[in-house]
Amino acid sequence: MATAAAHRTAGTPADGAPDTVDTTAYQHAFDAAVAADERVEPRDWMPDAYRATLVRQIAQHAHSEIIGMQPEANWITRAPTLRRKAILMAKVQDEAGHGLYLYSAAETLGTSRDELLDKLHSGRQKYSSIFNYPTLTWADVGAIGWLVDGAAITNQVPLCRCSYGPYARAMVRICKEESFHQRQGYELLLALSNGTAEQRAMAQDAVNRWWWPSLMMFGPPDDESQHSAQSMAWKIKRHSNDELRQRFVDICVPQAESLGLTLPDPDLRWNEERGHYDFGAIDWTEFWEVLKGNGPCNEQRITQRRRAHDEGAWVREAAAAYASKHTRTTTDTADTGTPGDTGNTAETGANRA
């Protein structure tokens, strides 16, 4: 992922000020690069709207990873075995890492992580609707792994070929890790499904509650998706929301059968003609309500995030104060002589490596 230095010389001013020079030639070069499936890199010229839509999408993706830690972390202290607990902790750590990769990718577009977090905390940027649902039982951890991470993978694998290089590269790393999160969730549900009657019922109940919200993760239907057409033209998105949703349903049905669990949709059946599973209507009223902030946990999720940020302020200040004191001390030492003694960080690193 590129550097802060790049931002200063990028073709379009990072602050979004209008270009004063004629951009026609740049626009042609950009269009040609996108048409040829080349990657757009941070220092390349790009249309302001392309930059803005990427900042929005990548930032909200990053926010989703960070908020997404909450529903699962809810069960860390109550995980039923040490093995399951260790797995869950590793998974939540991975999600923090995914958030960091994505914030870095967003920053190559000339925004800052602090700015994006500020927008999350003030509700000006969203995160995935799925994380506004509560984790009521241990089986929910499995349902999230299998269905929510499964939907995420279906969504994200095509993003590995997204036209914006830093985003595509972040997605490659993330997809690798998400795929074993999904296995972990599947394995958890399988253990419950093969367990006692109570465990089996708990697994089925979790799948019943997470199935429809998982289908909503693919976003509104194609005819109501305001960014889709442009994002597809720019090759940010490669497939429409409905295409990906269908792909996900087709993948899940046989997996549910192998788990010995059912999916809560009476209209779900194989359509020989289409070669796909037909499925029932999604409750879009619920989707828009959750997006507007009226889901079961919206308030709780954002309050917890804000509190962590506010209550951590003094720790961040302490770290910054320590860093500035430390930097001053080493500079002083370097000024007073002893060449080669302290050296610069890179050199020390190189020697040690």
Partner 1 sequence: MSTTDWPLWEVFVRSRRGLSHTHAGSLHAPDAQLALRNARDLYTRRGEGVSIWVVPASVITASSPDEKDPFFEPAADKAYRHPTFYEIPDGVKHL
Residue labelled with tokens 């040829």: 36
Output the smallest distance, CB 147 to partner 1, in A: 25
Output the smallest distance, CB 298 to partner 1, in A: 23
C-beta closer to partner 1: residue 292 or 316: 316
C-beta closer to partner 1: residue 56 or 173: 173
Output the smallest distance, CB 306 to partner 1, in A: 12
C-beta closer to partner 1: residue 136 or 320: 320
Residues sharing a CB contact under 8 Å with residue 135, sequence separation 6 or more, in sequence order: 71, 72, 74, 75, 141, 144
C-beta closer to partner 1: residue 110 or 213: 110
C-beta closer to partner 1: residue 125 or 129: 125
d(CA 103, CA 95): 12
C-beta closer to partner 1: residue 10 or 141: 10
d(CA 246, CA 287): 18
Residue type, 144: I
Output the smallest distance, CB 267 to partner 1, in A: 42
Output the smallest distance, CB 130 to partner 1, in A: 24
Beta-carbon-side half-sphere exposure of residue 116 (alpha carbons within 13 Å): 29
Helix pair angle (197-216, 149-156), 10° resolution = 30
d(CA 157, CA 153): 6
- Region of residue 175 (left: phi > 0; alpha: psi -120 to 50; beta: else): alpha
C-beta closer to partner 1: residue 107 or 149: 107
Residues sharing a CB contact under 8 Å with residue 176, sequence separation 6 or more, in sequence order: none
Output the smallest distance, CB 169 to partner 1, in A: 8
- Looking at the chain, list the stretches that DSSP marks H as alpha helix, in order from N- to C-terminal side: 4-9, 24-35, 48-67, 69-73, 82-107, 113-121, 139-143, 149-156, 165-193, 197-216, 228-233, 241-259, 284-289, 298-311, 313-335, 345-352
Output the smallest distance, CB 25 to partner 1, in A: 11
Strand, helix or coil at 138?
A: coil
Residues of this chain that bind partner 1 (CB under 8 A): 1-6, 9, 11, 41, 43-45, 93-94, 97, 100-101, 104, 107, 112-115, 117-118, 170, 173, 309, 313, 316-317, 319-320, 322-323, 326-327, 345-346, 349-350, 352-353
C-beta closer to partner 1: residue 17 or 314: 314
Whether residue 313 contacts residue 304, with contact meaning beta carbons closer than 8 Å, is answered with no
Strand, helix or coil at 264?
A: coil
Output the smallest distance, CB 18 to partner 1, in A: 19
